[in-house]
Structure 1
Amino acid sequence: MAYRRGESPCQVAQAIRVHCSVTSLRAQRLARGLTLKEVADGLNTLGKGRADSPRVDGDQLGHWETGRHQPRPATVGLLCEYYGCGSQDLGYGPAAVAIQVSSSAAVLVDPLVAPPTSLGPGVAGTFEQQVDAARRSVDRTLAVGTVSATQLDLLDEQVLWAREQYVYTPPAPMIAVLLGHLSEVEDLAVDRQPAAVQVRLSELTAMLATLIADALMKLGQLPRSQSWYATARNAADDSGNTEVRARVRAQAAMLPFYYGPLEAAVSLSREARIICRGRPSATTAFASAAEARALAKLGDVEGADAALRHATAAFEQSKAGGSTENDAFAFPERRFRLYESGTLTALGRTDQARRVQEAALRLYPTKTGIDPALLGFEKAICLAHEGNPVKACELASITFLRIAPEHRTPIVEQRAREVIGALPSDAQRGRAARQLHEILGCPPG
C-alpha cells in the first residue's frame, strides 16, 4: 500500500525501521521484499571484478544487519549502490559513532536514531540523547530474531510428523530423521531469539532428544541413551514448560525399568508425577502408571496399587484416551492398558492381567510398533506364573518370530528373555526354554 501511495523504498524502509525496531540496513532489505540470500547474490554480482569488493553470503549480511559485525567502507559503498541510497539511509551516516558508556562497554548508535554527540560538558541535551540512544539500541537487540512465525509453524509440523512416524517406524532409520530435525532446531537456537521463540525451540529440542534416547534404548545403546535422556531433561528444564519437564522424566524412567536399577525408574516417574502437581492430565496418568509398573516389579504391592489407582483416576479425569493415538507423546488407552498389564503381571494377578492384555490388543492398529509384542511376552509370563512353562515358551517364540526383523531390537530380546527368567529353575533348563534361547540367538530374518 505504501508503494501505491507513491512512497519510495527508502521511505518504506524508514517506516519499517521505526515500527519494527530493526536496523536501517535490515529495513532497506525488508522494504524491497528480499531475502538475505537474494541480496548477498546481488551484491556479489554487482561487485564482480572489483578488487575491493567483499565476498558476501547470507550469514555475513545477517551479522551486518544485526550489528554483530561492521562492514568496511568499501562494502558500505557497495551496499549504497545496490540499494540506490546514501550511507545515512543504511544507518552508517558518514560513520557510525561509538558512545562510551563505561570503561568496559560501548553502544553503537545508528545516526538515524540519535545524532552523534560527545559527552563534553555544557552541551544541552547530550546526556539525555545518549541515554535514549542506548535504550533504543537495547530494544533493537531484544527485537532481533531469525525465526519467523512461519518457520516455527513448519518446525512444529515436522516434529509432529516425526512423533507420528515414530509409533511404527523401526528405531535405526528413525534416528536419522530425528537428528535431521534436531539439527534444524539447533541452527535456530544458537542465535538469540525472543523469549517465546526460545521456549518453543527448547520444547522441540526436548521432544526430539527424548525420542532419540528412546530409539537408542531400543537398539541397546544404553550409555548413549542415558546421555540423550539427560540432554532432553536439560532442554525441558530450559523451556520451563511443566508438562514437557514431567513428560521427559516419565519417558526417561523406561531405561532403568528395562535395564535397571528399578529404583531409578521409580524415582524418575515419581519426580514426573510431583512436577504435575496432582493435575489430572495424560502426563500425570503416564507418570503414575510408570511408577506403578516399576514398584510392582520391585515387589512393593501396596505402593504399586496406590500408584495404579492414581493413574486410573488421572487417565479417566483427563480423558486422555481421546487424545491422538498415532503420536509418540500421546497416552491413549492402549498405552495405559500396556502399563496396567505390566503392573498386574508383575504382581502375579494373571487373570486380571490377561483381561487387560486382551482389551489392549484390540485397540492396536495393524500398522504399529513393538507394543503388541510386549503384551504377548507378558501373556507368556502369566503362563509361566501359572505353572505352564511349555506354553509360555511357545507363546514367547511365536510372538518373537511374528515381529518384523527390523523391529527385533535388543529391547525385544530382553523382554523375551524375561519369560525364561519367570520359569521355575528346572524349567529354565528344559527343552522349551532351550528352543526359545535358540530362536532369540538367530540373526534377524
Structure 2
Amino acid sequence: MAAAAPLLGSLEQVRRTFDHALPLVPSELDTDEWERVAADYAVRVLVEPPERLFAGLAADLNDLRARMAESSGTVRTDLTHAFAQLAALCAIALVQVHETDAANRWRRTASRAAAATGDRELAGLIAGRQAVFSLYSSSPATVLALADRAVAVSPPDGVGRISGLAARAQVHARTGNDGAALTALREVTEMFPDLPASTAPYGVWSWPEQRLRFVASEVHSHAGRTREAFAEQEAALRLYPSSSWGGPAQLHAHRATALIKAGDLTAGTEHLAGTLAELKPWQRRDALVHRSAAAALACVPPKQRGLPSVRRVRALLAEERQA
C-alpha cells in the first residue's frame, strides 16, 4: 500500500484537473451526492484509524470547495450543509489524534458553515457533538460553555440539545459535582423518548439508546455507584454494533473508574490494564480511549500508584503517546 502512494497521488492530481475542467454547473444531483459522502464519513470516523481518513477528507473537501465556488442559490446552500458536516467530522478526527488546536479551528469553521445554511437543526447537531468531543480535548469550563451553546441553538427536541445536556452531565461527573451531574442526567433521560425517530446507521450524528446508557455509566462510575454503573454498562455493551470498539473500550474504563472509586483498586486497575492490552495500538492512541483510561487512573490515591497493575496501565498509555 505504501509503495502505491506516489502513484495514487499522481492519479489524484490528474483526476482533479479533469474534474475541474468539466463544463457542468452543480445541481441537486451534486448536493445529494455530497450528503451521502458526509453520511459515510459520519460512520467511518468512529471505526477507522483517523490517519486513514485524513487523505480522503482532504481530497473530498477540495472537490467540495470547487463545487461550492461553481454554484449559487439553494444549490450552494445545500453544498454548504454538506461541508458543515464534513468540517465537523474533520474536527472530531483531529480530536482523536490529540490535535486540539487544529480541531478547534475546524470546529469554528463547521459552526460558521452551519450558521450560513440557516438550518437550526444542523447548527444544534454540530454544536452538540462539539460539546461532547470537547470532553476529551478541553477544560471543564470550555465543555460547559459549548454544552450551553448546544442547548441554546438547538430545537427543543433536537439531537443537539440532548448532546449538550449529556456533555453537561459528564463534565459535572468528572469534576465531582454529582448533584449537578444527576440533574443533567435526569434531563437527558426525560428527553430521550421524545427524540425524532431515525433510521440512520450508528454514527457521529445518531443518538441511540447506547449513548443514553453511556452517559449514565459515566455519571454513576465517577460517584462510585457500582451497581448502577455496571447495569448501565452491560445494557450499553449489548447495544453497540459489532464494528464499534471506542465506546465499548470507554465503558470498560468507566467500570475501572467505578471499582476504583468504590475502593477496589486492584480490580479496577487490572480491569483497565486488560482492556487496554486487548486494543490495537492505534486504538489505544485514540484520544477518547486514552483520556478515559487516564481519568480512571487519576482516581487511584497517590499512595497506591505503585501497584503493578497501575504501572502496567501507565506503561501502555505512555507507549502509545510516544508512538
TM-score, normalising length from structure 2?
0.86
Letter in 1 for 2:25: T
Distance 1:159 1:170 in 2: 17
In the TM superposition, residue 153 of structure 1 has moved relative to its aligned partner by 1.6
Aligned to 1:86: none
Aligned to 1:341: 217
Aligned to 2:208: 332
Q: 1:295 to 1:421 in 2, by over 3 A?
A: same
Which of 254, 257, 273 is the equivalent residue of 2:151?
273
For 1:259, what is the secondary structure of its paired residue?
coil
Q: Does 1:251 align with 2:129?
A: yes
Are 1:291 and 1:307, in contact at CA under 8 Å, matched by a contact in 2? yes
Distance 1:319 1:351 in 2: 31
Aligned to 2:4: none
Which of 213, 222, 231 is the equivalent residue of 1:355?
231
- Deviation by residue 1:394-439 (Cα, 9 ceiling, x = unmatched): 1111111112223222512222222221112211232221122123
Which of 97, 102, 106 is the equivalent residue of 1:228?
106
In the TM superposition, residue 376 of structure 1 has moved relative to its aligned partner by 0.5
Distance 1:267 1:344 in 2: 23
Which of 177, 186, 190 is the equivalent residue of 1:300?
177
Distance 1:247 1:332 in 2: 14
Which of 25, 30, 40 is the equivalent residue of 1:161?
40
Q: Does 1:239 align with 2:104?
A: no
Which of 40, 49, 61 is the equivalent residue of 1:170?
49
Unaligned runs of 5+ in 2: 1-17
In the TM superposition, residue 350 of structure 1 has moved relative to its aligned partner by 2.7
For 1:220, what is the secondary structure of its paired residue?
coil
In the TM superposition, residue 388 of structure 1 has moved relative to its aligned partner by 1.1
For 1:423, what is the secondary structure of its paired residue?
coil
Q: Which has the higher contact order (CA 8 A, sep 6+)?
A: 2
Distance 1:380 1:269 in 2: 26
Are 2:150 and 2:163, in contact at CA under 8 Å, matched by a contact in 1? no
Aligned to 1:315: 192
Letter in 2 for 1:172: E
Which of 183, 193, 199 is the equivalent residue of 2:62?
183
Q: Does 1:146 align with 2:25?
A: yes
Are 1:376 and 1:399, in contact at CA under 8 Å, matched by a contact in 2? yes
Unaligned runs of 5+ in 1: 1-56, 63-144
Distance 1:433 1:346 in 2: 18
Q: Does 1:402 align with 2:281?
A: no
Letter in 1 for 2:165: S
Q: 1:205 to 1:287 in 2, by over 3 A?
A: same
Distance 2:268 2:223 in 1: 17
In the TM superposition, residue 336 of structure 1 has moved relative to its aligned partner by 2.2
Q: Does 1:433 align with 2:316?
A: no
Out of 292-301 and 416-425, give the one that drifted further.
292-301
Distance 1:360 1:423 in 2: 25
Are 2:124 and 2:153, in contact at CA under 8 Å, matched by a contact in 1? yes
Are 2:94 and 2:100, in contact at CA under 8 Å, matched by a contact in 1? yes
Distance 1:425 1:331 in 2: 37
Distance 2:120 2:320 in 1: 43
Out of 185-194 and 372-381, give the one that drifted further.
185-194
Q: 1:300 to 1:58 in 2, by over 3 A?
A: closer
Q: 1:58 to 1:442 in 2, by over 3 A?
A: closer
For 1:442, what is the secondary structure of its paired residue?
helix
Are 2:178 and 2:219, in contact at CA under 8 Å, matched by a contact in 1? no
Q: 1 or 2, which has the higher helix percentage?
A: 2
Are 2:91 and 2:104, in contact at CA under 8 Å, matched by a contact in 1? yes
Query: RMSD of aligned C-alpha atoms?
Result: 2.4
In the TM superposition, residue 369 of structure 1 has moved relative to its aligned partner by 3.5
Q: Does 1:217 align with 2:95?
A: yes
Are 1:323 and 1:330, in contact at CA under 8 Å, matched by a contact in 2? no
Mark the structure with the bigger radius of gyration: 1
In the TM superposition, residue 443 of structure 1 has moved relative to its aligned partner by 5.3
Aligned to 2:262: 386
Percent of pairs identical after alignment?
24
Distance 2:117 2:224 in 1: 41
Distance 2:183 2:97 in 1: 33
Pairing 1:43-192 to 2, within 5 Å after superposition: 146-192=25-71
Aligned residues: 304
Letter in 2 for 1:293: Q
Which of 400, 408, 421 is the equivalent residue of 2:298?
421
Q: 1:410 to 1:330 in 2, by over 3 A?
A: closer
Distance 2:245 2:262 in 1: 28
- Deviation by residue 1:346-404 (Cα, 9 ceiling, x = unmatched): 33333211110110001112212411000010000001011111111111111111122
For 1:252, what is the secondary structure of its paired residue?
helix
- Deviation by residue 1:288-313 (Cα, 9 ceiling, x = unmatched): 11221112223333332222222112
Distance 1:256 1:187 in 2: 30
Are 1:324 and 1:332, in contact at CA under 8 Å, matched by a contact in 2? no
TM-score, normalising length from structure 1?
0.64
